[in-house]
Amino acid sequence: MTALHLVDEGEAADLAAFLARLIHYDRAAAVRLQATGTTLAVFGRPPSFEVLAIRTARLAKPYENGLDLSLDVTVSAGELLESLDESAAMATVPAAVTGPPWAGVLPPRGGWRPEPGLPALDAVRTTVAAVVAEFRSRTDELAPEGRTRSALDGIGREIWSRPVGDTPLPVRAAHAAQSLGFLRPTRGAVPEGSVPRLLSSGAWLRLWTPYGSIAVRRTGPGAGLGTLDVSVR
């Protein structure tokens, strides 16, 4: 069994919270793990949002498993969560599973550049709250015979594809970030570079926060394949 030694209990608790949120949306969720040096990146895809969620964690010592100096494997999110010992800040890597299609299409390693127009954190949170309320209101107004899957999906597509502020980022990406705990306020004074940012690279957009990132494609297949640069959380 391969052990991952996290830097402290807080890092283990944050990772556990992220896995628990993924499992809330999909009890059979899988995650792709990549570890190099002292950084572990965990990739997941909450099915309700059609986005890629990324959470990084700091390791107490450089990853090493025999002659292997890096880790790249897709595993059960539930099994990884069960193996997490928060008090010991340690997790055991479960057996590999057959990865879902998204696990083979990750954002590019580099080339990320800032995109303008992203509102402040409070404004993004307000936008998410407003569209959630609108979705509930519009679906509640449907007559019982009109509450078909097609009708609900149509309202959802129209609402969740709207842009956030003056950006190409769809609201569903901000909603995913909020639901996964990425849009919570930073504790204490806000250090420079810790506020949410919007980045782009090729066909990918990425909503970065100190607590994790949401990546989403803005075009069809064929661009931006590779491995995310986990040095930028």
3-class DSSP state of 95: coil
Quick one: average pLDDT of 113-124? 95
- pLDDT at residue 99 in the model: 83
pLDDT category at 195 given cuts 50, 70, 90 is confident
Name the more confident of 232 and 180.
Answer: 180
pTM attached to this predicted model:
0.87
The pLDDT score that the predictor gives to residue 230 is: 37
Catalogue all structural domains in the chain, each as residue range(s) with its CATH number: 2-104 (3.10.150), 113-199+211-217 (no CATH)
User: What rounded mean pLDDT belongs to the chain?
Assistant: 88
Under the banding of pLDDT at 50, 70 and 90, the label for residue 233 is: very low
Mean pLDDT across the stretch 57-72?
92
Q: Which burial class, exposed, middle or buried, applies to 156 when counting CB atoms under 10 A from its CB (0-12, 13-18, 19+)?
A: middle
State residue 218's pLDDT score: 80
Both structure tokens of 208: 């970065």
Rg (CA), the chain: 18
- The rounded distance, in Å, linking the Cα atoms of 115 and 122 is 18
Q: The dihedral of CA 141, 145, 146, 150: what is its sign?
A: positive
pLDDT in tens, 34-62: 999 999 999 999 988 889 999 999 999 99
b/e sequence 25-49, b meaning 16+ C-beta within 10 Å: bbeebbbbbbbbeebbbbbbbbeeb
pLDDT tier at 71, thresholds 50, 70, 90? very high
Residue with the two structure tokens 């995650």? 31
pLDDT digits (tens, 9 = 90+) for 180-189: 999 987 665 5
Q: CA 12 to CA 207: how far, in whole Å?
A: 23
User: Do 205 and 213 meet the contact criterion of CB atoms below 8 Å apart?
Assistant: no
Which amino acid would we find at residue 221?
P
Q: What distance in Å separates the CA atoms of residue 27 and residue 30, rounded to the nearest whole number?
A: 9
Residue type, 142: L
- Whole-number pLDDT of residue 192: 52
Range of lowest pLDDT (95-104, 147-156, 159-168, 220-229): 220-229
Task: Confirm if 180 and 53 have CB atoms less than 8 A apart.
Answer: yes
Whole-number pLDDT of residue 1 = 76
DSSP secondary structure code for residue 228 in this structure: -
Lowest mean pLDDT among 59-73, 104-118, 127-141, 186-200: 186-200
For range 82-107, the mean pLDDT: 94
93 membership: H or E segment, kind and range: strand 90-93
* Partners of 165 in beta bridges: none
Task: Give the three-class secondary structure for 71.
Answer: strand
Can you give the pLDDT at residue 146? Answer: 87
pLDDT (average), residues 106-112? 87
Distance between CA 101 and CA 52 in Å, rounded? Answer: 12
- Is the pLDDT assigned to residue 135 strictly greater than 80? yes
